[in-house]
């Protein structure tokens, strides 16, 4: 019931703003952008930078109004608002997009990306750019990727030093079948929970832990409850900036060019911020009493060998082979 009310509220706000502001090119065109993150997160800062650059390129003819912190709903709810054209843009993790574009599951396969350099090489390759194009089949437009670092486990009742430490533990994951299968392959019990509900779920013992990058772990204040952070870095899952395809098509070629240029600037800006934000987040949670563990990744990698093999005849089998060779 609450989700339905939230969706109705989001629809009303976004539709009103869109209809009022996108009447014609001679008036200021306002694009609404919703996301679920804290306003201190580097992704939000990059979006604010994109808004400034759009104002610059368009000489004030276009603007982006940002609704952070899940004000317009969950990631999935905002994707659905994009599809019907009542929200202009959003940020989502690539994993939930698997439900719309099955090939997106490649980002949730553990230990496929070797490091950050390899990760960006994949994103900028034909594979990464091709995945952005595929979302157009579901009335979305992939504007570009943001760095979301590597995802690692954090828990409430002891660190994860080896895969065996995950046995019997309920771990919150993104709403992605591959993310669920990853935790199960490593020995844990995967539990998809909305990001906005996770703090309470950790506090109440609904789950024993979760997995995410350092800035998200810090800014969500999950370290207050889950005080063990094991940097196993099992996946590199990018954030994706999406535009509504109906809204995109409503823009003129000139407006599309301005928005694309602003997006490109924000990607470079966000990448420049990410590494410092990660290091600062780790320093902050450590100062707050978090126990940071650096487990031997080989044991985790060995555990998912059969899991990798299970994708051989899947839609991403060929992609996996190519990514490993990059």
Read off the tokens for 192. Answer: 């998809």
Whether residue 158 sits in one domain with residue 210: yes
Whether residue 106 sits in one domain with residue 215: no
Whether residue 296 sits in one domain with residue 189: yes
Whether residue 132 sits in one domain with residue 243: yes
Whether residue 273 sits in one domain with residue 201: no
Whether residue 69 sits in one domain with residue 89: yes
Number of domains in the chain: 2
Whether residue 83 sits in one domain with residue 66: yes
Whether residue 194 sits in one domain with residue 58: no
Res 305: pLDDT: 94
pLDDT over threshold 70, residue 18: no
Confidence of residue 23 (pLDDT cuts 50, 70, 90): very low
CATH of the domain at 216: 3.40.190.170
Reduced to 3 states, what is the DSSP secondary structure of residue 291? Answer: strand
pLDDT digits (tens, 9 = 90+) for 31-63: 999 999 989 999 999 999 999 999 999 999 999
Whether residue 318 sits in one domain with residue 255: no
Whether residue 245 sits in one domain with residue 168: no
Res 74: pLDDT: 87
Whether residue 307 sits in one domain with residue 161: yes
Residues contacting 154, CB < 8 A, separation 6+: 209, 210, 211, 212, 217, 222, 223, 226, 228, 229, 230
Whether residue 87 sits in one domain with residue 71: yes
Res 282: pLDDT: 97
User: What is the pTM for the complete model shown?
Assistant: 0.85
pLDDT over threshold 80, residue 1: no
> Of the given ranges (4-13, 131-140, 204-213, 301-310), which has the lowest mean pLDDT?
4-13
The parent domain of residue 203 ranges over 150-236+282-325
pLDDT over threshold 90, residue 180: yes
DSSP sequence for 216-284:
HHHHTTGGGT--EEEEEEEEE--EEEEEEHHHHHHS-HHHHHHHHHHHHHHHHHHHHHHHHHHHHHHHH
DSSP code, position 86: S
């Amino acid at each position: 019931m609450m989700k339905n009310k939230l969706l109705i509220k989001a629809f009303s706000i976004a539709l009103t703003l869109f209809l009022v502001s996108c009447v014609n090119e001679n008036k200021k065109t306002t694009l609404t952008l919703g996301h679920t993150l804290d306003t201190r997160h580097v992704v939000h800062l990059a979006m604010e930078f994109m808004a400034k650059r759009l104002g610059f390129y368009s000489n004030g003819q276009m603007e982006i109004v940002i609704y952070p912190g899940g004000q317009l709903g969950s990631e999935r709810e905002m994707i659905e608002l994009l599809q019907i054209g009542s929200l202009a843009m959003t940020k989502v993790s690539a994993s939930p997009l698997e439900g719309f574009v099955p090939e997106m599951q490649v980002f949730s396969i553990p230990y496929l990306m070797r490091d950050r350099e390899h990760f960006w090489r994949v994103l900028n390759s034909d594979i990464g750019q091709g995945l952005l194009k595929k979302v157009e089949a579901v009335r979305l437009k992939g504007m570009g990727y943001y760095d979301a670092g590597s995802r690692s486990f954090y828990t409430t009742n002891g660190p994860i030093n080896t895969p065996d430490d995950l046995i019997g533990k309920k771990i919150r994951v993104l709403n992605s079948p591959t993310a669920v299968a990853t935790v199960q392959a490593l020995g844990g019990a995967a539990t998809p929970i909305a990001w906005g509900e996770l703090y309470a779920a950790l506090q109440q013992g609904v789950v024993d832990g979760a997995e995410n990058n350092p800035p998200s772990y810090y800014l969500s204040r999950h370290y207050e409850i889950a005080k063990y952070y094991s940097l196993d870095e099992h996946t590199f899952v990018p954030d994706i900036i999406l535009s509504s395809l109906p809204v995109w098509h409503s823009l003129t070629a000139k407006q599309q060019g301005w928005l694309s240029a602003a997006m490109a600037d924000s990607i470079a800006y966000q990448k420049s911020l990410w590494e410092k934000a990660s290091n600062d987040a780790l320093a902050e949670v450590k100062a707050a009493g978090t126990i940071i563990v650096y487990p031997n990744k080989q044991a985790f990698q060995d555990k998912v060998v059969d899991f990798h093999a299970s994708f051989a005849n899947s839609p991403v089998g060929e992609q996996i082979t190519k990514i490993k060779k990059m």
